[in-house]
Amino acid sequence: MTLALIAALPFLGALLPGLLIRAGRNACAAVTGSVTLLALVLLAMQAPAVLRGEVVTTRIEWLPSLGLNANFMLDGLGLLFAGLILGIGLLIILYARFYLAKSDPMGVFYTYLMLFQGAMVGIVLSDNILLLLIFWELTSLSSFLLIGYWKHLPEGRQGARMALAVTGGGGLALIAGMLILGNIAGSYDLSVILTQKEAIQASDWYLPALILILLGCFAKSAQFPFHFWLPHAMAAPTPVSAYLHSATMVKAGIFLMARLWPVLAGTPEWFWIVTTAGLITMVLGAKIAFFKDDLKALLAFSTVSHLGLITMLLGMGTAKAATVAVFHIINHATFKAALFMSAGIVDHEAHTRDLKRLGGLRHLMPVTFTIAGIAALSMAGIPPFNGFLSKELMLEEAAHTALGPAWLLPVLATVGALFSVAYSFRFLSHAFLGPKRDDYPHMPHDPGFGLWAAPGFLALLVVLIGVMPMTTAAWLVDVAAGAVTGAPVEVEIKHWHGLYAPALWMSLAAVGGGLAMLGAFVALRAMWDATPRPEAKAIFDGIIEPLAALARAVTQALHNGSLTRAVAIGTVAITAAGLWAFAGGAYSAGTRAMLPLSPVAVIGWGLLMVAVAGVVLVHRNRLMSLILIGIIGLIISLGFAWLSAPDLALTQITVEVVTVVFMLLALNFLPKETPRESTAFRRGRDALIAIGAGAGIGGLAYAIMTRDFAFPSISAYHLAQSKPGAGGTNAVNTIIVDFRGYDTFGEIIVLGIAALLIYALVEALLKPGSANDRLLAMPVRADIAGDRHPLLMVMATRFLLPVAMMIGVFLYFRGHNLPGGGFVAGLVFAIATVMQYMASGLGWTEARQRIEYHALIAAGVLVAAAAGVGSWLFGSPFLSSSYTYVNLWPLEQFELATAAIFDLGVFLCVLGAVLLALNSLSRMARRAGETVSADPYSVDRPEGGK
């Protein structure tokens, strides 16, 4: 369970910041940090087992029939990445607490950050590749939110969109690739896939799967030609850049390549694609980084370059190169996160990140300079820092790998290292060295401890790993590289490889060349500015814009804001699809025996047809059409009764009453006539569309009814189990409250939401505004009503109230065994109350209404939920019902079922929802000037009253 908990903790933690931000920014940051810390501690508790070489697993069946299970595993690679994600995540939370301005909504930031953290941890702990894909997409979504966190900046929004389009698009390719991979291996579990190397590499589908998976990885890890999105994502706040774009998200692609390394690597295809892409990215990124003036842009391209370096090492396909890649992942995460945070500090203090406006900060910000200096020297590969160690090992590997001509790869790797030295030193010298200036946008000084603690800690790691690699890092590299290569690894990291090691000379050339480049910066810069080069963003926009325009055009053509047009297009499309399907099949007449015509039924049918035709003909007279609707509903409920469906008949007739009353109340405010607007042509066209659809539906219904079931219906099961399984003889009711109780639970919630929505709409309409003005200006038309509360009706409804309620209770209790149940009972109660509204007036009834309708809805949902949760106490799944028989003198033996409690919830919810909806309309009526007598009705008044 622990692994699932580690992955779930950040998601749970994402709920807290929003709640805690009211308690202050410190509390919010502390709680968010402690959730991450807890996850880190849980991870550390698993570490000893992993370091012994074990693989910790947690297996939870989710959708086993699809091969989708919540299986988690933790091996060395997972431990390394989860440790990086949670550890650096903790530092970022600390850093962000002091970095974000007062005006930035911090709770939102931490929520996004935790969502992202959870998704990342999920990726690296997943054992099931389908689960991994879900987390993968979640990182794309949550990073979209983080990059666009400063919503007011257009760059932020554009950068977020671009990142989502590129990484999300790559994600789609990845899904396809992973599905192919799973199909070849015969399982979606990584632990199985990783044992299938021969089968996978021998398969015809190996190359498509490889290309699709690499597309996903390259897009995520900003490898050429997808490298362009990463610099644009730098519009994000610096904590985000430091977290997502140095340590974690961009490493997700690297992680996946390392994860699948045992089964995908080692083939010529893998070697050529991955090594080439990595090499190009490394050199290209490093070159561009050198010429960037924005500190974060420089770091962004340098990240691109270093990711290319790691990719190239993974591409070489040898265990040694993969080990170096793992080591460099650790080193890069430490120094690059520290550098981003330092850049953020400079930006925070000097109010600019432009290298042309900086310089001389060494004197003003000694602490920041020290941290940035250590990290930048490490990035340049200068001893004794950790970047030097992995770069030496990388050059050593490059020297022994041939990509085409034997000299090509070593030379290009050296060129990459040379640029790397150049931009690292440029970062340092142009920002921190040189004379102090007097034209900073804001006079900088070192920040408080809170802001530099996190990068300071990382700089300390840079030094420790650099000086004592064997004690501080080698053990972690061993288990992680062992997990990547699938064989035990014992790495030996040395500072000195001897005079005959090619890496030494390549390194020296890189440092010398890099310094020379920096010296010639002004001349090189002029050359760079003079050469035309493709602008990635322009190309990207050039591809995206026409697509967006096309999408807009299609949407506009289909849905231009005209409801009638959308309905017409939809109806015609559905009818055409039905016709097309019908024309393609062989139709033969049904064989089921038809019912004989019964005279009464034919009369009812005739009435229905007259009413339907009447609605169409007189629909402009709204009151008349409403009356006709009532007739239609009545006949339909009679039809249900005749066709052996008493439950439906009861529900239909009660709903009909409530609906007509509701629409009558609404019609009170609306115009009573619909003007004739459409042309004769248009009416003809509409009639044609409508008749076509009606003929289709009618024909389909006829075809169904004249045939027997094509497959045995599951109804037989419900009928057979109704009594022994659910303890009721009314199969319809047992389906609603028992077999399909979960659906019903959802439905009463929907009904409750609908009622609350109506309440909220009325609230909004009654606020000062044009709607309220119109209501107030509505003429009170007392003349129509005549006697507003006829004495006979008042007395009759008051007499009927208890009777109606008794009927409701009766229907509720017998529902399980005989027609009735919570739905109908709720409606009967509602009608009984509505009668009081109509007869005695709104005020009189409301004054006597003790229970809030909102509370009724809430009680209904809670009671139903309690009935469902109650079954947990007996160790059964949610909403399993049980029943027992009770003998209670002097009653007959009767049965008590937990389903009855659930049905009570249904009853309360229906009652509350219907009454809240009607009551909302009555509130509008009162605003419109409907006079209200809250006093007792005149007949109740004592003699001589007012």
Binders of other proteins among residues 915 to 944 (CB under 8 A) are 917, 920-921, 924
Among 320, 740, 789, 926, binds other proteins (CB under 8 A): 740
Q: How many residues line the site for other proteins (CB under 8 A)?
A: 122
Span 165-184, contacts to other proteins by CB under 8 A: none
Shortest approach of other proteins to residue 560 CB, angstroms? 7
Stretch that binds other proteins, among 197-205, 318-326, 742-750, 792-800 (CB under 8 A): 742-750
- Output the CA–CA distances (angstroms, integers) from residue 240 to 29, 89, 109, 156, in the order listed: 15, 10, 9, 12
Nearer to other proteins, 804 or 917 (CB): 917
Evaluate whether 216 touches 170 at the Cβ level (below 8 Å): yes
Evaluate whether 839 touches 793 at the Cβ level (below 8 Å): yes
Among 104, 137, 747, 846, binds other proteins (CB under 8 A): 747
Nearer to other proteins, 565 or 848 (CB): 565
Shortest approach of other proteins to residue 551 CB, angstroms? 15
Give me the count of residues in the chain.
946
Q: Which of 110, 124, 289, 129 is nearest to 196 (CA)?
A: 129
Shortest approach of other proteins to residue 800 CB, angstroms? 22
Nearer to other proteins, 141 or 778 (CB): 778
Evaluate whether 415 touches 283 at the Cβ level (below 8 Å): yes
Shortest approach of other proteins to residue 693 CB, angstroms? 5
Nearer to other proteins, 544 or 705 (CB): 705
Other CB atoms closer than 10 Å to residue 271's CB: what's the count? 17
Nearer to other proteins, 402 or 670 (CB): 670
Contacts of residue 68, defined as CB under 8 A and 6 or more positions apart, other chains included, come to 62, 128, 130, 131, 188
Among 193, 200, 284, 732, binds other proteins (CB under 8 A): 732
Shortest approach of other proteins to residue 567 CB, angstroms? 5
Which residue, chain included where needed, has tokens 């749970």? 12
Which residue, chain included where needed, has tokens 């990215």? 281
Span 221-250, contacts to other proteins by CB under 8 A: none
616 binds other proteins (CB under 8 A): yes
Shortest approach of other proteins to residue 640 CB, angstroms? 7
Contact pattern for other proteins over residues 641 through 680, marking x by CB under 8 A:
-xxxxxxx--xx--x--xx--xx--xx-xxx--xx-xx--
Residue 473 is inside which H or E element, if any?
none
Among 30, 433, 612, 805, binds other proteins (CB under 8 A): 612
Evaluate whether 812 touches 819 at the Cβ level (below 8 Å): no
Shortest approach of other proteins to residue 322 CB, angstroms? 54
Greatest Cα-to-Cα distance within the chain, rounded to the nearest angstrom: 120
624 binds other proteins (CB under 8 A): no
Shortest approach of other proteins to residue 909 CB, angstroms? 10
Stretch that binds other proteins, among 226-234, 425-433, 518-526, 737-745 (CB under 8 A): 737-745
Nearer to other proteins, 523 or 597 (CB): 597
Q: Which of 288, 136, 272 is nearest to 227 (CA)?
A: 288
- Output the CA–CA distances (angstroms, integers) from residue 832 to 638, 751, 807, in the order listed: 22, 20, 10
| CA–CA gap between residue 742 and residue 878 (Å, rounded) | 8
Nearer to other proteins, 509 or 631 (CB): 631
| CA–CA gap between residue 178 and residue 174 (Å, rounded) | 6
Which residue, chain included where needed, has tokens 């009314």? 730
Shortest approach of other proteins to residue 821 CB, angstroms? 8
Span 521-560, contacts to other proteins by CB under 8 A: 560
Stretch that binds other proteins, among 118-126, 233-241, 753-761, 863-871 (CB under 8 A): 753-761
Shortest approach of other proteins to residue 533 CB, angstroms? 36
Span 328-387, contacts to other proteins by CB under 8 A: none
DSSP character for 736? I
Shortest approach of other proteins to residue 173 CB, angstroms? 34
725 binds other proteins (CB under 8 A): no
Contact pattern for other proteins over residues 561 through 600, marking x by CB under 8 A:
xxxxx-xx--x--------------------x-xxxxx--
Q: Which of 622, 602, 658, 689 is nearest to 833 (CA)?
A: 658
Q: Please name the amino acid found at residue 71.
A: N
Stretch that binds other proteins, among 18-26, 82-90, 489-497, 766-774 (CB under 8 A): 766-774
| CA–CA gap between residue 177 and residue 314 (Å, rounded) | 19
Which phi and psi (to 5°) does residue 223 adopt?
A: -85, 150
836 binds other proteins (CB under 8 A): no
| CA–CA gap between residue 766 and residue 755 (Å, rounded) | 17
| CA–CA gap between residue 30 and residue 153 (Å, rounded) | 28
Beta-ladder partners of 59: 71
601 binds other proteins (CB under 8 A): yes
Nearer to other proteins, 601 or 805 (CB): 601
Among 94, 751, 825, 856, binds other proteins (CB under 8 A): 751
718 binds other proteins (CB under 8 A): yes
| CA–CA gap between residue 422 and residue 380 (Å, rounded) | 8
Among 625, 797, 836, 881, binds other proteins (CB under 8 A): 625
Span 898-917, contacts to other proteins by CB under 8 A: 910, 913-914, 917
Among 501, 615, 800, 866, binds other proteins (CB under 8 A): 615
780 binds other proteins (CB under 8 A): no
Q: Indicate the pairing of strand 56-63 with strand 894-897.
A: unpaired
Shortest approach of other proteins to residue 616 CB, angstroms? 5
Evaluate whether 422 touches 69 at the Cβ level (below 8 Å): no
CB-based burial of residue 709 (10 Å sphere; 0-12 exposed, 13-18 middle, 19+ buried)? exposed
Nearer to other proteins, 191 or 571 (CB): 571
Stretch that binds other proteins, among 4-12, 150-158, 390-398, 763-771 (CB under 8 A): 763-771
Nearer to other proteins, 700 or 869 (CB): 700
754 binds other proteins (CB under 8 A): yes
| CA–CA gap between residue 391 and residue 511 (Å, rounded) | 12
CA dihedral 416, 420, 422, 424 (to 10 degrees): 180
Nearer to other proteins, 449 or 642 (CB): 642
Among 693, 801, 862, 932, binds other proteins (CB under 8 A): 693
Span 696-715, contacts to other proteins by CB under 8 A: 696-702, 704-706, 708-709, 713-715
Stretch that binds other proteins, among 310-318, 384-392, 523-531, 813-821 (CB under 8 A): 813-821
Q: Residue 583: which region, alpha, beta or left (left: phi > 0; alpha: psi -120 to 50)?
A: alpha
Evaluate whether 266 touches 343 at the Cβ level (below 8 Å): no
Shortest approach of other proteins to residue 772 CB, angstroms? 8
Shortest approach of other proteins to residue 635 CB, angstroms? 9
Q: Is the dihedral of CA 926, 927, 929, 932 positive or negative?
A: positive
Which phi and psi (to 5°) does residue 941 adopt?
A: -70, 135
| CA–CA gap between residue 335 and residue 372 (Å, rounded) | 9
Nearer to other proteins, 197 or 926 (CB): 926
Span 253-282, contacts to other proteins by CB under 8 A: none
684 binds other proteins (CB under 8 A): no
| CA–CA gap between residue 573 and residue 277 (Å, rounded) | 47
Evaluate whether 58 touches 3 at the Cβ level (below 8 Å): yes
